[in-house]
Amino acid sequence: MSKVNIKQLAKELNLSISTVSRALRDSYEISADTKKKVFALAKQLNYQPNPNASGLRGQKTKTIAVVIPEMVNDFFSLVIGGIEKVAQEQGYYLLFYFTHGDYDLEVSFINTLANGRVDGVLLSMSRENHDNSHLLELNKNGIPLVLFDRVSENLDNVKVTSDNYDSAITATRHLIDAGCKKIAYLQVHKNISIGKIRMNGYLEALRPKGQTPLMVECSNENEETFEIIEKMLLNEKPDGIFASVEKLAVICYRVCEKINLRIPRDIKIISFSNLQTASLLNPSLTTITQPAFDIGETAAKELLDIIHKKSKSASRDKHVILKSLFIKRKSTSALY
């Protein structure tokens, strides 16, 4: 147990504690000579300031909380990559909280954060447009909050998302332009707002063409979803599929395989996707890919801007929308 603190440095150097403290912070009122000596000893003894002490004293922890539904998820791991890049650059630590989509857990995490554990919070909501009082409380406590991906428009905070509505329109039009006359929309979680926004894009693109929408509500269980899709394909015989999440596209692909529908000849599929899992499949699959890394990077930058008071109160309520990528694959081999 050899933790070294300022006091020991001071004693060893015959200086006062405050002089050492100032020297370490490179204060202008300390002589170059003293600084050099202090730095040398600090390095030699591997002095590390106690973060609890400075946090307690200065109300700054150089830590931000990242609250997300889950980790085992391509989208969120990419987002974290972006967050981490910014954090690293600016010397911030990252404290992670996983809500598993549990609203109560989110509330309890956020409450926990109300008292100086972190300098700011990045949050992807577990449940949108529900009771947001825990977040209002956070705002009241002066802890900056930036929302990303799963956001609520009711909150006066910075929000970062991708262009779900526009890209759903693009995706649907792509199928229409490719000659599809009957396009099915595969969805899960129809109650989360991203799902709704994407669905609205799909509906909007369909309307002027006079096509009747074909909404397919899938399940969380792969087997069940497999059956739902199989039944739908056999009964409705759509010639286009728009999958709102990648997993549905993958399952749909398997169903096509089973009932001998050739992609893209008999049926065309387009899908939202994060990593290119779906693109590993055999037929060419066109995907709408969210700029996950960018979302993380942007959200983190916005948060740190607020923390550093670079942005005035005026810009605390804004919605940054990042463009998705439309990736059309001719052949999967093109991957390499």
What track of x and - describes contact with a second copy for positions 66 through 95 (by CB under 8 A)?
A: ----xxxx---xx-xx--x---x----xxx
Determine the Cα angle at 215 with ends 214 and 220, to 5°. Answer: 145
**Least CB distance from residue 71 to a second copy, whole Å?**
5
Distance, in Å, from the CA atom of 273 to the CA atom of 280, rounded to the nearest integer, reads: 12
Closest CA to 69 of 109, 112, 125: 125
Helix (H, G, I), strand (E, B) or coil at 153: coil
Name the 3-class secondary structure at 181. coil
Min separation Cβ 198 and a second copy, Å: 23
Q: Output 78 or 180, the one with its CB closest to a second copy.
A: 78
Q: Can residue 114 be called a binding residue for a second copy (CB under 8 A)? A: yes
Q: Which of 172, 179, 164, 243 is nearest to 204 (CA)?
A: 172
Which residues are bridge partners to 217 per DSSP?
Answer: 187
Residue 311 contacts a second copy per CB under 8 A: no
Contacts of a second copy in 196-255 (CB under 8 A): 222-223, 225-226, 250-251, 254
Looking at the DSSP bridge assignments, the partners of residue 158 are: 146
| First-residue to last-residue Cα distance in the chain | 52
Taking the least distance from each CB to DNA, the nearer of 47 and 242 is: 47
Residue closer to DNA (CB basis): 47 or 272 = 47
Closest among 247, 198, 257, 203 to 224, alpha carbons compared = 247
Interface residue list for DNA (CB under 7 A): 3, 5-7, 14-19, 21-22, 24-25, 28-34, 49-50, 53-54, 56-58, 115-116
Site string for a second copy, 147-186 (x = CB under 8 A): ----------------------------------------
Please name which of 6, 11, 46 lies closest in space to residue 23, comparing C-alpha atoms. Answer: 6
Query: Within a 10 A sphere around the Cβ of 60, how many other Cβ atoms?
Result: 12
Rule CB under 8 A: which residues touch a second copy? 1-5, 46, 48-53, 55-56, 61, 63, 70-73, 77-78, 80-81, 84, 88, 93-98, 111-117, 137, 140-142, 222-223, 225-226, 250-251, 254, 257-258, 277, 280-282, 332-333, 335-336
